[in-house]
């Protein structure tokens, strides 16, 4: 299997499964602290793309179509109770694309889609960082301030990290939006107060992609507010999912 999905905590009586999609270069461990932070009524699951963490050495995926082809059969067996998707940055684009694919297949729809630090797909930036030299890629990582300097300066670590970053950026940068049916689920978008104002200004365009309602929440921090403002992110998610009807009788 090219992609894995697994629970971060097994909660058989939880009302909702929350599938979490990491940002470019990230893995399931991005969400390792979420189980303790989320209420017992939410069962967190993490999506793991190949080439990182416990999937080190597995062939990388470089196109959204390949990601979806690998992801759909892994996710569908676990959609047997109410579920929601959360994705940050690249993960938001993957989560939206998967939601659209599942709806097209009539395989279910999340009760809510959470997209975080992710531009709406119809206004993607035209960048090609994935095609740059190693030096250019390292400088871009440095400018994003998400990778510790000691990692950037370690040739062995960078030999492992750069191919993953390059592949993930290729997924995002080669993605092309096409018109299609609106999603039926509501979308909640998160953006950081210190993110690029031009990007924040277009976040409401996520609302044009669903018939299910939209809201935008601004949280303190830059692009990686996912970490710096994690309690606020988790609280927002928990509050919106608390209204989801329980599955079955208890």
DSSP helix, strand, coil percent of the chain (3-state; round to 5): 45, 15, 40
Q: Is residue 143 part of a domain?
A: no
CA dist list (Å): 190 to 59, 88, 118: 31, 9, 8
Sign of the dihedral through C-alpha 214, 234, 113, 127: positive
- Per DSSP bridges, beta strands 42-48 and 4-7 are antiparallel
- The string of pLDDT tens digits covering residues 98-143 is 999 999 999 999 999 999 999 999 987 777 778 778 878 888 777 7
Q: How many structural domains are present in the chain?
A: 1
The one catalytic residue among 89, 97, 109, 116: 89
pLDDT > 90 in the chain, percent: 72
CA diameter of the chain: 57
Q: The tokens of 61 are what?
A: 């995926």
Query: Is 135 part of any domain?
Result: no
In a domain, 130, yes or no: no
Q: What is the CATH classification number for the domain harbouring 31?
A: 3.40.50.1820
Q: Are 93 and 206 in contact (CB under 8 A)?
A: no
- CA–CA separation, 109 and 26 (whole Å): 25
244 pLDDT above the threshold of 70: no
77 within a domain of the structure (yes/no): yes
Residue 98 lies in a domain: yes
pLDDT at 155: 84
Q: Residue 172: is its pLDDT beyond 50? A: yes
**Tens-digit pLDDT profile for residues 189-227:** 999 999 888 888 999 999 999 999 999 999 999 888 999
* pLDDT class of 1 with cuts at 50, 70, 90: low
Q: Is the pLDDT of residue 149 over 90?
A: no
Buried b (16+ CB within 10 A) or exposed e, 181-199: eebebbbbbbbbeebeeeb
Residue 8 lies in a domain: yes
Domain assignment of residue 93, given as a range: 4-124+179-241
Residue 85 is assigned to a structural domain of this protein: yes
Residue 201 lies in a domain: yes
Residue 56's CB is within 10 A of a number of other CB atoms, namely 11
| 89 tagged catalytic | yes
Q: Which helix (H) or strand (E) holds 4?
A: strand 4-7
Let me know how long the chain is.
250
Per-residue pLDDT tens digits for 46-101: 999 998 988 888 999 999 999 999 999 999 999 999 999 999 999 999 999 999 99
Write down the number of H helices and E strands in the chain. Answer: 9, 7
Residues β-bridged to residue 214? 187
Residue 245: predicted pLDDT: 56
- The model's pLDDT over 32-47, given as tens digits with 9 standing for 90+, comes to 999 999 999 999 999 9
| Crossing angle (nearest 10°) for helices 64-75 and 90-104 | 60
Q: How far apart are CA 203 and CA 107, in angstroms?
A: 27
Q: Which pTM value belongs to this model?
A: 0.93
- At 247 the pLDDT is 45
| DSSP letter assigned to residue 6 | E
pLDDT higher than 50, residue 187: yes
Pull the structure tokens for residue 65. 């179509």
Q: Is the pLDDT of residue 28 over 70?
A: yes
């Amino acid at each position: 299997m090219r992609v894995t999905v697994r629970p971060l905590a097994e909660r058989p009586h939880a009302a909702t499964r929350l599938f979490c999609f990491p940002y470019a270069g990230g893995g399931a461990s991005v969400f390792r602290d979420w189980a303790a932070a989320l209420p017992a009524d939410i069962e967190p699951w993490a999506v793991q793309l190949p080439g990182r963490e416990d999937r080190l050495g597995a062939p990388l995926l470089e196109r959204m179509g390949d990601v979806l082809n690998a992801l759909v059969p892994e996710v569908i067996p676990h959609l047997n109770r109410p579920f929601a998707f959360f994705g940050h940055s690249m993960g938001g684009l993957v989560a939206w694309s998967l939601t659209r694919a599942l709806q097209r297949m009539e395989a279910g729809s999340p009760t809510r889609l959470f997209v975080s630090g992710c531009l709406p797909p119809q206004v993607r930036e035209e960048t090609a960082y994935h095609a740059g030299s190693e030096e250019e890629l390292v400088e871009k990582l440095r400018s994003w301030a998400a990778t510790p300097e000691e990692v950037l300066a370690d040739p062995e670590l960078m030999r492992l990290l750069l191919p993953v970053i390059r592949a993930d950026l290729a997924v995002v940068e080669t993605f092309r939006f096409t018109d299609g049916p609106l999603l039926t689920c509501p979308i909640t978008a998160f953006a950081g107060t210190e993110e690029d104002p031009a990007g924040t200004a277009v976040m409401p365009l996520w609302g044009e992609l669903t018939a299910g309602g939209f809201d935008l929440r601004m949280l303190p921090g830059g692009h990686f507010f996912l970490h710096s403002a994690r309690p606020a992110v988790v609280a927002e998610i928990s509050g919106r999912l608390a209204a989801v009807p329980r599955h079955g009788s208890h």
